[in-house]
């Protein structure tokens, strides 16, 4: 399994490719577990799915390393009663 820093780098690379995906020129090339992975991404939905998968793997890697995953908390809803 990859480390959390490696996965974070992959997320950064994937997010930087969004412009190329929008213009139809995106080919994503990553090194993963000693192998080269080349993907041609044809839609933003596929890229967003890939980024979501990487983010889930990042949380798993952080838990395995004993680091508390950084997640965003939802806002507090306030209700006023008179």
**Domain that includes residue 14, residue range:** 4-64
In angstroms, rounded to a whole number, what is the distance separating the alpha carbons of residues 76 and 53? 27
**Alpha helices (H) in 17-77, listed in sequence order:** 18-23, 44-64
* In the block, residue with structure tokens 């690379």: 13
| pLDDT over 80 at 3, yes or no | yes
pLDDT in tens, 4-32: 889 899 899 888 887 777 777 767 777 77
73 lies in some domain? no
75 lies in some domain? no
Q: What is the mean pLDDT of the chain?
A: 80
pTM greater than 0.75: no
72 lies in some domain? no
3-state secondary structure of 38: strand
């Amino acid at each position: 399994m990859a480390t959390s820093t490696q996965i974070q780098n992959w997320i950064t690379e994937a997010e930087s490719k969004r412009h190329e995906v929008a213009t139809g020129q995106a080919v994503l090339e990553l090194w993963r577990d000693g192998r080269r992975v080349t993907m041609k991404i044809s839609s933003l939905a596929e890229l967003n799915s890939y980024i979501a998968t990487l983010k889930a793997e990042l949380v798993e890697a952080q838990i395995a390393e004993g680091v508390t995953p950084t997640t965003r908390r939802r806002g507090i809803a306030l209700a006023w009663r008179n």
